[in-house]
Structure 1
Amino acid sequence: MGFPGIWMTESESMVYRVVPKCACSTIGQIMYFSDHGRFYEGDIHDAQEGLHKWAREESQGPIEANVQAHRSLAFTCVRNPYARILSSFFDKICGIQRNGRRYRGNLVPLLIQKYGIEVGDPERGFEFDQVRSFRRFLLFARDTIRYRRPMDPDIHWSAMSGHISTFICNGGRYDRIFWTERFNDGMQSVLDSVETPHPVVLSEIPRFNESEGHGPKRAHPVSAYFDDLSMHLVYEIYKQDFELFRYDFDNPDNKMPTGEIDLDEVHAKLGD
């Protein structure tokens, strides 16, 4: 199976497991900058040079050798499950993608037909009942994750623990897992532990949110989107994410972690 979702700097200063919707664009650009002293022009997910990625065949050998010998600091980043699934909905379901089209072609028409959701129209300011549509999307997300129907789960709303576990199961070990909600502290702890060809001053790094501005703005506080049934569905899907990464299930408006991540526990529970 190898190491899907792994990015590594060409200098092999650091190894990163991408988790979608968890600051991956910013982290990728920081890694690129640390090697080249400049940012990649465009979306870092499109970069075919300047950064090792497991999806690039020529990168697989260097990544595998590095990870198996644990030559570099390995890290990843997580996000509150409530905020992450909401972000996936507004970006991937309601938003227009950078190619000017809807995400995954026929996905949105499928959701409109089978689940009765609305996504709004950019020509009319994306006006629609966000709460009702999101709760219907959540049913769809649960169906894809639990029953793999009407399609396999998408990487943007499948559980973070699932993404993170592939690295462990195939022989990797994380040195850091930090929260997007405390991004500067977490990313700084990574940078303080590695040597890079170019110094990175985190306070001068912009945030690269590639999905921003392509869809509707969230109109309500997080808790407004989650009634009792929605919270039950979220817990059914993301129970392990809440527990391992110390997020507050009982209060959707509390995006901050409630305790420290125990790396030994993460490796033990996700390494089966």
Structure 2
Amino acid sequence: MGFPGTWMTLSESMLYRVVPKCACSTIGQIMFFSDHGRFYDGDIHDAAKGLHKWAFEDSQPAIDRRARARDTLAFTCVRNPYARVLSSFFDKICGIQRSGTRYRGKLVPTLIETYGIEVGGPDGQQEFDQISSFRRFLLFARDTIRWRRPMEPDIHWSDMSGHVATFIANGGRYDRIFATECFDTGMQAVLDAAPVRHPVDLARIPRFNESEGHGPRRAHPVEAYFDDLSRHLVYEIYHRDFRLFRYDAEDPANQRPLGEIDLDEVHAHLGD
């Protein structure tokens, strides 16, 4: 299986397991800058040069060698499950993608017909009942993850633990896992521990939120979207994420982790 979803700097200074909707665009750009002294001109997900990616056959031997040897700093980044699944809804379901089309073609029309959601019209910018539609989307997300129908779970709303686990299961070990809610502190610890060619000033770099503007703006605070039933659904889907990454399952308004992530616990639980 190898190391799907893993990026590495060309200098082999750091390995990053991408977790969708967890600051991956910003992290990729930081890695690119640390090697080249400049940011990639465009969406880093589209970069075909300047960064090793497991999706590139030529990059796989280098990533495989470094991940298994565990001599390159390996890290990933996680996010509060409530905010992450909400972001996935607005970006991937309500939003128009970079290609100018809806995400995954017939997905949104199927959701509209089968689950009765609204998405803000053809351009995603019209007013609609965001709370009601999001809660219906949660039912769909649960169905894909628990029963794998009407489709396989998508990487943007499947649990973070599943993404993180593949790196461990295939022989890698994380040196750092940090939360997006503590981004500067966590990313600085990575940069301090890696032999970067070009220093990165986190206080001065932009945030590369490539999904911003794809869909309607969130009209309410995060906690407004989650009633008792939807909190139950989120916990059913993401119970490992809440436990391993120390997030508060009881209070969607509390976005920050409750404590430090225990790397030994993560490796023990996800390495089976």
TM-score interval, smaller chain: over 0.9
* 1:195 correspondence with 2:195: yes
TM-score by length of 1: 0.99
2:240 alignment partner, SS class = helix
Letter in 2 for 1:90: F
Residue in 2 aligned with 1:159? 159
Counterparts of 1:25 and 1:123 in 2: how far apart (Å)? 24
* 1:79 correspondence with 2:60: no
Residue in 1 aligned with 2:32? 32
Residue-by-residue CA offset, 1:210-256 (whole Å, 9 max, x unaligned)? 01012111111111111111011000000000000000011101001
Q: Stretches of 4+ moved more than 6 A in 1?
A: none
Residue in 2 aligned with 1:113? 113
Q: What's the C-alpha RMSD, in Å, of the aligned pairs? A: 0.9
Residue in 2 aligned with 1:213? 213
TM-score by length of 2: 0.99
Q: Would you say the 8 A contact 1:19–1:164 is kept in 2?
A: yes
Q: CA 1:268–1:230 in structure 2 vs 1: closer, same or farther (change >3 Å)?
A: same
Q: Would you say the 8 A contact 2:34–2:198 is kept in 1?
A: yes
Residue-by-residue CA offset, 1:56-100 (whole Å, 9 max, x unaligned)? 000000000111111210000000000000000000000110111
* 1:43 correspondence with 2:29: no
Q: CA 1:127–1:174 in structure 2 vs 1: closer, same or farther (change >3 Å)?
A: same
Letter in 1 for 2:178: F
Counterparts of 1:199 and 1:245 in 2: how far apart (Å)? 29
Q: Would you say the 8 A contact 1:126–1:215 is kept in 2?
A: no
Residue in 1 aligned with 2:64? 64
Q: Would you say the 8 A contact 2:96–2:124 is kept in 1?
A: no
Q: CA 1:271–1:263 in structure 2 vs 1: closer, same or farther (change >3 Å)?
A: same
Residue-by-residue CA offset, 1:114-139 (whole Å, 9 max, x unaligned)? 10000012658321000000000000
Q: Residues 113-262 of structure 1: matches in 2 within 5 Å? A: 113-121=113-121, 125-262=125-262
Q: Would you say the 8 A contact 2:244–2:262 is kept in 1?
A: yes
Counterparts of 1:124 and 1:156 in 2: how far apart (Å)? 19
Q: Would you say the 8 A contact 2:8–2:53 is kept in 1?
A: yes
Aligned length: 272
Letter in 2 for 1:266: V
Letter in 2 for 1:242: F
Residue in 2 aligned with 1:6? 6
Larger deviation: 116-125 or 41-50? 116-125
Letter in 2 for 1:53: K
Residue-by-residue CA offset, 1:174-202 (whole Å, 9 max, x unaligned)? 00000000000000000000111111111
Counterparts of 1:128 and 1:20 in 2: how far apart (Å)? 26
Residue in 1 aligned with 2:18? 18
Q: Would you say the 8 A contact 2:3–2:64 is kept in 1?
A: yes
Q: Would you say the 8 A contact 1:141–1:153 is kept in 2?
A: yes
Counterparts of 1:168 and 1:261 in 2: how far apart (Å)? 16
Q: Would you say the 8 A contact 1:245–1:261 is kept in 2?
A: yes
Counterparts of 1:119 and 1:202 in 2: how far apart (Å)? 35
Counterparts of 1:82 and 1:124 in 2: how far apart (Å)? 21
Residue-by-residue CA offset, 1:12-44 (whole Å, 9 max, x unaligned)? 000000000000000000000000111111100
Letter in 1 for 2:187: M
1:214 alignment partner, SS class = coil
5+ long unaligned stretches in structure 1:
none
Counterparts of 1:199 and 1:123 in 2: how far apart (Å)? 40
